[in-house]
Chains A and B, each alone.
Chain A
Amino acid sequence: MTIDWGWFPDHRSTLVTLTLDHLSTAVPAVLFGLLIALPLAVIAHRVRPLRGLLLGLSNILFTIPSIAIFVLLLPVTGLTRTTAITGLTIYTLVVLLRNTVEGLDSVPTKVREASTAMGARPLRTLLTVELPLAFPVIMAGVRVATVMAISLVSVASYIGYGGLGQLFTDGFQRNYPTPVVAGVILSLVLALVADAVLVTIQWLCTPWLRRRA
């Protein structure tokens, strides 16, 4: 297998476009996933009977092959980027929901009770006490979900919105490995850079954890 390194600079603009495409599918997926997972996690955390149901349902969604999810969404959302984003949102949801519930569970009962005793309503306790304390565990979920979403975008290339995944299809059809290598490397780099950005955000947002370390 020979790789034509000269191909890379020749296709710089294509690579940039595909990378941006890739991000514009993965990033909204994680954001939407978070938007849906947070309220669901609060419900799962507070209403015990619903907890098993919500976590179980999200685990079942995780077992469906990603390619099938994209295809099954086609009749609803059509051959658009929405299909790719919706499919990935479903996947990020699993990780985000589980981690947010775990994060909320990790807040000591006494801390919650102290907040209530000081007169805070449940919503205020949630926003000012529970969520900040659960933040590191929630962020761990966001990191996993982001890295996973970036690697999964490629699967959407079967429906034409796979970002860097288009390079895989291209290389496969022409029996030409160079674009495939380019796609794998760029997808990996993108995931690792995104992860580093999230670690930095977490570090900036949790000054109280820094002093201890």
Chain B
Amino acid sequence: MLELLQNLLRWLTSGSQWSGPDGIATRLLEHLQYSLLATLVAAAIALPVGLLIGHTGRGAFLAINLSGFGRALPTVGLVTLVFLASGLSMWPVYVSLVALAVPVIVTNTYAGMAAVDPEVRDAARGQGMRWYQVLFQVELPLALPLIMTGLRLACVQVVATATIAAYVSFGGLGRYVFDGLAQRDLVQVLGGAVLVAVLAIALDLALAGVQRLLFRNRPPRAHAH
């Protein structure tokens, strides 16, 4: 066990491991690129949907069940399926990561909107605010903590799952996991897993920092599923 940890430390800290086209630096950037792009695309799809469902109160059934469906979808199966349909391209990676993140963001956005006190909403309408003013100036700021929680949760899941890019022969930190698995090289697998975890935690902390900057005077709320 101790020897394994020493080897892992050597693997993580050796300079040659970090440089070059197969180096950790390159893999880390690839992983970051897959994860960020997928999370951004997912947010661009999920945020308007969640806000609309929350604002109109229509389609709540859809929002709630979407999260269950999204969680139930086996990512490996989806990757394989899109891979067989599209051939060797980035489609399988992005489709599955976006499919993973959209339900999480939609449900949390909806939950945040649903938690807004109806009387506050009525007061805003009573003051003559138009629907978009109510949405963007009243509901959105109040729902933001839960929306941010959804984005953080989605981001962590996407980073952990972006490992599958290596399964369809692309890069990212999953390379170490899959190559290590093929070569029965435990140190490499462990190294890849540690790097993924560190990246996910770092991104989560960064988003938590953004969240704290945005709502300095509001207490944090528990998140919804």
Instruction: Decide whether A and B assemble into one complex.
Output: yes
A102 within 8 Å of B (CB atoms): yes
A40 within 8 Å of B (CB atoms): no
A72 touching B71 in the complex, CB below 8 Å, given contacts A1-B84, A168-B80: no
Within 8 A of A (CB), among B178-212: 178, 180-181, 186, 189-190, 192-193, 196-197, 200-201, 204
Q: Indicate if the CB atoms of B163 and A71 lie closer than 8 Å.
A: no
Chain A interface residue count, CB cutoff 8 Å, equals: 47
Describe B's contact surface by its main secondary structure: helix
B183 CB to nearest A CB, Å:
11
In the assembled complex, the Cα of A188 lies from the Cα of B80 at a distance in Å of 15
Q: In the complex, which residue of chain A has the Cβ closest to the Cβ of B224?
A: A140
Q: Indicate if the CB atoms of B77 and A65 lie closer than 8 Å.
A: no
In the assembled complex, the Cα of A164 lies from the Cα of B85 at a distance in Å of 20
Collect the chain B residues with CB atoms within 8 Å of residue A153's CB: 74
Collect the chain A residues with CB atoms within 8 Å of residue B181's CB: 67, 71, 158
Q: Indicate if the CB atoms of B156 and A63 lie closer than 8 Å.
A: yes
Q: In the complex, which residue of chain B has the Cβ closest to the Cβ of A70?
A: B181
Q: Indicate if the CB atoms of B74 and A72 lie closer than 8 Å.
A: no
Describe A's contact surface by its main secondary structure: helix
Collect the chain B residues with CB atoms within 8 Å of residue A164's CB: 74
Chain B interface residue count, CB cutoff 8 Å, equals: 37
Collect the chain B residues with CB atoms within 8 Å of residue A177's CB: 81, 84-85
Collect the chain A residues with CB atoms within 8 Å of residue B174's CB: 65, 67
Collect the chain A residues with CB atoms within 8 Å of residue B161's CB: 65
Q: Indicate if the CB atoms of A144 and B225 lie closer than 8 Å.
A: yes
Which interface residue of A63, A154, A165 has the most chain B CB atoms within 10 A?
A63
Give 15 A-B contacts (CB < 8 Å), ordered by A residue.
A65-B196, A66-B160, A67-B174, A67-B178, A75-B186, A99-B225, A151-B71, A154-B76, A180-B84, A184-B77, A184-B81, A188-B69, A188-B72, A191-B68, A195-B72
Q: Which residues of B contact A (CB under 8 A)?
A: 68-69, 71-78, 80-81, 83-85, 156, 159-161, 163, 174, 177-178, 180-181, 186, 189-190, 192-193, 196-197, 200-201, 204, 222, 225
